[in-house]
């Protein structure tokens, strides 16, 4: 009978993992500060902070679609592009939205939630998340 188990998803460990999590904390702090500079209501921040997690809904289709969608929304490229667009073409609210988005991404990384592998929801580039099964 063929082995149908998937190989363990690779994950960064040790000092590089710590640095990536500290980098997430720095992104979170910088985005909070930049958001404060926009002068936009903190209520908007509170309401939209978890909005990127709606990308979890793609997991209802399958793990591959879920990982692709989650990663697209939880990569720093999106908030960077939105910030540049907001600076170049305005309106200023786009910069505020980009800072909320960047803060969310940084917060997730700081807590150890990495980009997903299509093997399983819990498999991330920063290691497996959630309750670990005993070996």
- What was the pLDDT predicted at 7? 63
Nearest CA to 26 out of 102, 98, 93, 79 is that of 102
Indicate if the pLDDT at residue 2 is higher than 80.
no
75-96 in b/e form (b: 16+ CB < 10 A) is eeebbeebbeebeeeeeeebbb
Radius of gyration of the chain (CA): 17
Confidence at 132, pLDDT banded by 50, 70, 90: low
Global model pTM greater than 0.75: yes
Domain coordinates in residue numbering, the chain: 14-121
Q: How far apart are CA 13 and CA 18, in angstroms?
A: 8
Q: For residue 121, what pLDDT band results from cuts at 50, 70 and 90?
A: confident
Looking at the predicted structure, is the pLDDT value of residue 3 above 50?
A: no
Q: What is the pLDDT of residues 12-51, one digit of tens each?
A: 889 999 999 999 999 999 999 999 999 999 999 999 999 9
pLDDT at 1 over 80: no
Of 88, 120, 103, nearest to 37 (Cα)? 103
Other C-beta atoms closer than 10 Å to the C-beta of 101 total 23
Q: Which residues pair with 120 in a beta bridge?
A: 117
Do residues 88 and 7 make contact, with C-beta atoms less than 8 angstroms apart?
no
**Residues 63, 119: contact at Cβ < 8 Å?**
yes
């Amino acid at each position: 009978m063929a082995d149908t188990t998937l190989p363990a998803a690779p994950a960064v460990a040790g000092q590089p993992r710590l640095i990536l999590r500290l980098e997430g904390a720095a992104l979170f702090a910088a985005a909070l500060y930049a958001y404060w500079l926009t002068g936009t209501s903190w209520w908007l921040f509170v309401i939209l902070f978890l909005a990127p997690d709606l990308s979890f809904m793609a997991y209802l289709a399958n793990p591959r679609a879920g990982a692709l969608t989650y990663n697209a929304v939880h990569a720093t490229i999106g908030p960077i592009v939105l910030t540049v667009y907001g600076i170049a073409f305005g309106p200023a609210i786009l910069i505020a939205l980009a800072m909320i988005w960047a803060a969310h991404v940084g917060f997730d990384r700081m807590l150890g939630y990495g980009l997903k592998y299509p093997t399983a929801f819990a498999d991330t580039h920063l290691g497996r998340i959630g309750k670990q099964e005993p070996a």
